[in-house]
Amino acid sequence: MVSTPSRDTTPARLAKIEPVDKRDKVVVCGGGGFIGGHLVAELLHNGHTDVRAVDIKPFDQWYQHFDEAENQILDLQLLDNCHEALEGADVVYNLAADMGGMGFIENNKALCMLSVLINTHLCVAAREAGVKRFFYASSACVYNADKQRDPNVTALKEADAYPAMPEDGYGWEKLFSERMCRHFREDFGLQARSCRFHNVYGPHGTYDGGREKAPAAICRKVIQAKRSGNLSIEIWGDGHQTRSFMYITDCLKGMQNILWSDILDPINLGSSELVSINQLVDIVEKIAGVTLKRSYNLSAPKGVNGRNSDNTLIQSLLGWEPNTRLADGLEKTYRWIYDQIVGSDATCKLQNATPSAT
């Protein structure tokens, strides 16, 4: 058993937020991804004048792209690229990883594990660059699987990550990288902070292709069923598995508060509003105004039976709690995905109707 470090829980000290200099060079690794794209948008909106977004994907595959930022295409598994990405950096957010929803991480364990190279090399580069703060995005997948076997799960506390038995592949990489950040802080003085995301969702995210997570997948399936007239939906698992889902704006506020706090150990960042997958479908059906016939694919990837975030610690230290109800966040997400699907279909029809040049 690996012990967790002792924690000074003096609220006045841990809740301290340092002043943010908006002239600092802020580097968002994974800036072409879902959370990274929203973070870049938020930083620019809040007046940050030197933002660098880095991602491995070509620009046309970035979820959001901003000309006001410095944009780089780099494979951050390589140490030399990490040095280039962090040149002159004051603040670093590491949101970069090869990941997706349960269908992806259960079938791509080695690819998920290789993300350990990203965080390791970024820690090395951040230390050498003398960054002020380094943020690592961990995941609730680090938690011991034995504590997640019942859909009526007891909300997971930070200490429940040990004794270690995380999600195979993806969860092990996240847990290892948490420790890497801890030891770079202890041994080299890198001011690293980390939080464990619990299912972040919202507009401008993946909704098809195999990497999407449950909220986006359910929205897409309901939209497609309604538009096609085939009023049925396939649900992975028996529908009784439970989760909590955090809207993207709540995520952004929480992670930035954690970065500038004195909270040294990984902390939960998620909603405590627990729902079953069946209840998730209920909500999206209500938004769409349809009722679908449900079938259950018991052989599909479904993850643990139950997972929820215990927010006691972050409430006591930072006064933080998500304020977006799941139904409200899902409605915004549903509308955005609907527009993407309708727009994509319209483009395809237009292209098919356009005569080719001779």
User: Which segments of 198-350 are extended strands (E)?
Assistant: 200-201, 232-236, 242-243, 246-247, 267-269, 275-276, 293-297
- How far apart are alpha carbons 15 and 7 in whole angstroms? 13
Q: Which of 226, 207, 249, 278 is nearest to 63 (CA)?
A: 207
Among 93, 136, 170, 247, the one annotated catalytic: 170
What kind and span of H or E run contains 195?
strand 192-197
- Element spanning 16, H or E: none
The verdict on whether 170 is a catalytic residue reads: yes
Give the SS3 label for residue 27.
strand
Contacts of 324 (CB under 8 A, 6+ apart): 247, 249, 250
Q: Which residues pair with 27 in a beta bridge?
A: 52, 92
Q: Which candidate, 334, 216, 333, 232, places its Cα nearest to that of 290?
A: 232
Rg value, the chain, Cα: 21
> Which positions are catalytic?
170
